[in-house]
Amino acid sequence: MENKKKTVGYPVTKQSLIETLKRIGVGSGDIIEVHSRLSAFDYVVGGARTVVDALMETVTESGTILMPMQCCDNSEPSNWVNPPVAASLYREVRESIPSFDPKTSDIPDMGAVVENFRHREGVVISSHPSVSYAAWGRYAKLLCNRQSLHFPLAEESPCARLYELKGNVLLLGAPFETCTCLHLAEYRCDCRSIKIEGACIDSGSGPVWTKYLDLNTDCSVFTKVRALMTRKNMIRDTMHGGCHIQYFPAAQAIDEATKYLEKSTVFELYR
């Protein structure tokens, strides 16, 4: 029996992606937090490089592109669940984790587009060892220069700067719950418990394991925030090459998430 191979029906090119981005509202000078899933496209000619080129040529250097670049392997091993680590090995794992390096540390869960983007000329990378960001363009340094070690997605973070600059969020095939800036809402409404995290940093004289405070964030509620925003026509979306693309204002999304969490969490009962 002859195997039938799937043929490419609609190849995504740099120019076709630029046209789609402009049609959905992305333009020169925009400030955008981008989340992407390259596999969501049927086929992109040139792969991740083409996507990054299209983004840069659309917003231009007068705008800014921001991408979360989370180094999940550089974190407290006692909190790992995929896979978990035996308690007897916590110390050995901590001592073996290499210190964060913005260019070489692995970012296994972030995808090919982020990996391509972080190596581009002019990209600025924030210093947080576990929850760093990469940015390019006019406000790259402003977004990334000050990210607190403790509570890294709170007021001293690229999330908060994106909110202040009235930036937007672009989801290229990525689900709504991956929107990192929405975590700012969790910090603003005090609805999450505090945890102790850890990471290995370069102290200048060698790697050092450092503890820091963070929240037990939960992105599962973000889908409910999306439903609220959809009813209010806050999200522009389209399809391109099999990929669902969404575009919306970051500040509106964070405000909606904050209001939802303030009304729906158990912590509200004790205020």
Assess contact for 229 and 254: CB atoms under 8 A: no
Q: Name the amino acid, one letter, at 171.
A: L
Residue with token string 């406000």: 139
pLDDT, tens digit, for every residue of 79-90? 888 888 899 989
Q: What pLDDT, on the 0 to 100 scale, is given for residue 5? A: 63
Q: What is the mean pLDDT of residues 217-245?
A: 94
99-108, 109-118, 215-224: range with lowest mean pLDDT? 99-108
At residue 103 the predicted structure's pLDDT band, cuts being 50, 70 and 90, is confident
pLDDT of 179 > 90? The answer is yes
pLDDT, tens digit, for every residue of 133-178? 999 999 999 999 989 999 999 999 999 999 999 999 999 999 999 9
pLDDT of 267 > 80? The answer is no
- Which pTM does this prediction carry? 0.90
Percent of the chain with pLDDT over 70: 94
5-9, 114-118, 159-163: range with lowest mean pLDDT? 5-9
Per-domain boundaries in the chain: 14-270
Q: What is the DSSP letter of 267?
A: G
